[in-house]
Chains A and B, each alone.
Chain A
Amino acid sequence: DAGITQSPRHKVTETGTPVTLRCHQTENHRYMYWYRQDPGHGLRLIHYSYGVKDTDKGEVSDGYSVSRSKTEDFLLTLESATSSQTSVYFCAISSGSRSGGELFFGEGSRLTVL
């Protein structure tokens, strides 16, 4: 299995509180991604990174920010969590270019916003 660790794996929080999810990789892959998975919507890209301090928005980036200060860590922050952000969040990594390559996914972080 690719060396990807997501933390926390489960979190329950209240509306309006800040939340940070962490993705840590040991593969030294250049590309890192955050997806959310919701019933009926599949996997949707939130943000991605193509290097240290290089990040860009995905399809559903509103309400989320990211940071990548080291190759191995990619943080996803919800500044003020809302109930619509209740979801399962997956981190993925890839060594490939934007022309396509295998994504390796973490085990997911289940977030519940009450």
Chain B
Amino acid sequence: GENVEQHPSTLSVQEGDSAVIKCTYSDSASNYFPWYKQELGKGPQLIIDIRSNVGEKKDQRIAVTLNKTAKHFSLHITETQPEDSAVYFCAVQGADGLTFGKGTHLIIQP
């Protein structure tokens, strides 16, 4: 099955700085790569996704980049704010649904 590696497991940044989370995957046939944000005590929510026919997608302060040749994709958050503190999961679409990375706990330091 699909193998998804996510790094780092914890990321602490100063408010206003940028944060980058990276994921690699194993199945070169995968073509859908979403990112989910999970706040404490809640279920994950989709924040951005990308399909394999594009290399980058932006939505205000968040962006995702995809390198299909290298089989990795990254989440970029600029001008981080306190409300960005959460756990972020990358995921990869496989034949039987999404396979998730293990998550990154993003901490925004005031």
Contact = CB atoms under 8 A, between A and B. Distances in A.
Interface residues of A, number: 23
B61 interface: no
B76 to A, nearest CB: 20
B102 A102 contact: no
B58 to A, nearest CB: 18
A27 B100 CA distance: 24
Most buried by B among A35, A42, A56: A42
Most buried by B among A41, A48, A103, A107: A103
Tell me if B's interface is mostly helix, strand, loop or mixed. strand
* Interface bin, chain B: 20 to 34
A100 B99 CA distance: 11
A23 B44 CA distance: 16
Interface stretch (B13-21, B45-53, B65-73, B78-86): B45-53
27 contacts: A35-B100, A40-B102, A41-B102, A42-B6, A42-B89, A42-B100, A42-B102, A44-B100, A45-B97, A59-B1, A59-B99, A90-B43, A98-B93, A98-B95, A99-B31, A100-B32, A100-B49, A100-B51, A100-B93, A102-B49, A103-B36, A103-B44, A103-B98, A105-B43, A105-B45, A107-B41, A108-B42
